[in-house]
């Protein structure tokens, strides 16, 4: 092939340009840590990364909301534990003051304590987590239990996602826990009745409260069981969501992240190649017959 000076110049421009382009690509990959900057770099990886990115956000959100639901259930459990303590104390008072050896004065004093326990129970049933009343069902922006024990909430059980599309109860029907379902006993009324009987020095009435409070304590225990099971579900969901988030992160990384060892090797190779191209170009361009002719 006949080679002209212009061919040598143009070849030098092309080869140097290619070497610089390779160097720039390798530098960008090493500097950014990404193998796929534009969709055209790897259309399949870019496309798959969309799904994994959205899934990662989904699992992160499920993990976060499940954790908040678990925290809220923890507050509900603490409140129910407090109410159980209140019911146990009321039962102790009923057992103790059901004995007719106590005077009306003694029972009146006990009635004051029962009234205090009652108010404590109302307060615990109106527990808030953040700004929400956790025992009001969907009516969570106002105290669900009035001072007289009336329930102003509703029976809705709130649900939170534990896996994509799968929802778990995140609250309990407090009215049912307190009053029991069919055949159950209303804790609030029982405590009111106990107070009334103590005030009225009505031994039989006081003793009736013992069994009723026992039933109430069992109802509260059943409620706490529901809460505990839900807590377990949410804690499992948090763990699973964290694992899934990590899994998605790894998948995205495999699709888009640069192999730094490989990229660094290519960077070194591109640097060497550019250096060699520039050296060869410089040497070639100095050769001309014009310099040799006298």
Q: State the residues that interact with another protein by CB under 8 A.
A: 1-7, 10-11, 14, 34, 36-51, 53-58, 60-62, 64-65, 68-69, 130-132, 136-141, 153-154, 156, 158-161, 164-165, 167, 170, 256, 288-290, 293
DSSP string, 9-56: HHHHHHHHHHHHHHHHHHHHHHHH-BS-SSGGG-HHHHHHHHHHHHHH
Contacts of 53 (CB under 8 A, 6+ apart): 248, 252
Least spacing, CB of residue 28 vs another protein, in Å? 13
Q: Please provide the DSSP assignment of 175-186 as one string.
A: HHHHH-STT---
Quick one: CA dihedral 265, 266, 269, 275, positive or negative?
Answer: negative
Torsion of CA 96, 99, 101, 102, to 10 degrees: 50
Q: Residue 75 Cβ, how far from another protein at the closest point, in Å?
A: 13
Which of 51/116 has CB closer to another protein? 51
Minimum CB separation of residue 143 from another protein in Å reads 12
Nearer to another protein, 218 or 247 (CB): 247
Measured from the CB atom, is 45 or 200 closer to another protein? Answer: 45
Q: Give the nearer residue to another protein in terms of CB position, either 70 or 194.
A: 70
Residue 87 CB, nearest approach to another protein (Å) = 26
**Measured distance CA(102)–CA(194) in Å, rounded:** 15
Q: Which is nearer to another protein, 61 or 250 (CB)?
A: 61
């Amino acid at each position: 092939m006949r080679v002209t000076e212009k061919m040598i110049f143009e070849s030098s421009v092309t080869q140097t340009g290619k070497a610089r382009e390779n160097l720039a690509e390798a530098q960008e990959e090493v500097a950014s840590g990404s193998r796929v900057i534009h969709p055209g770099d790897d259309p399949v990886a870019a496309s798959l990364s969309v799904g994994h990115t959205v899934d990662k956000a989904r699992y992160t959100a499920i993990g976060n909301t499940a954790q908040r639901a678990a925290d809220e259930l923890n507050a509900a459990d603490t409140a129910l534990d407090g109410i159980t303590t209140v019911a146990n104390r009321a039962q102790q008072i009923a057992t103790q003051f059901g004995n007719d050896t106590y005077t009306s004065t003694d029972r009146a004093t006990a009635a004051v304590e029962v009234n205090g326990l009652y108010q404590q129970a109302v307060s615990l049933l109106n527990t808030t987590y953040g700004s929400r009343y956790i025992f009001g069902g969907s009516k969570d922006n106002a105290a669900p239990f009035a001072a007289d024990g009336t329930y102003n909430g509703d029976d809705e059980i709130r649900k939170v996602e534990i896996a994509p599309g799968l929802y778990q109860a995140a609250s309990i029907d407090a009215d049912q826990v307190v009053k029991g379902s069919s055949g159950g006993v209303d804790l609030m009324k029982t405590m009111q009745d106990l107070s009334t009987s103590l005030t009225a020095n009505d031994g039989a009435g006081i003793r009736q409260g013992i069994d009723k409070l026992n039933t109430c304590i069992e109802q509260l225990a059943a409620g706490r069981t529901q809460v505990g099971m839900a807590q377990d579900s949410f804690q499992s969901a948090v763990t699973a969501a964290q694992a899934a988030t990590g899994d998605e992160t790894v998948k995205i990384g495999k699709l888009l992240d640069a192999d730094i060892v490989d990229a660094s090797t290519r960077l070194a190779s591109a640097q060497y190649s550019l250096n060699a191209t520039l050296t060869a170009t410089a040497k070639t361009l100095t050769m001309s017959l014009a310099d040799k002719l006298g």
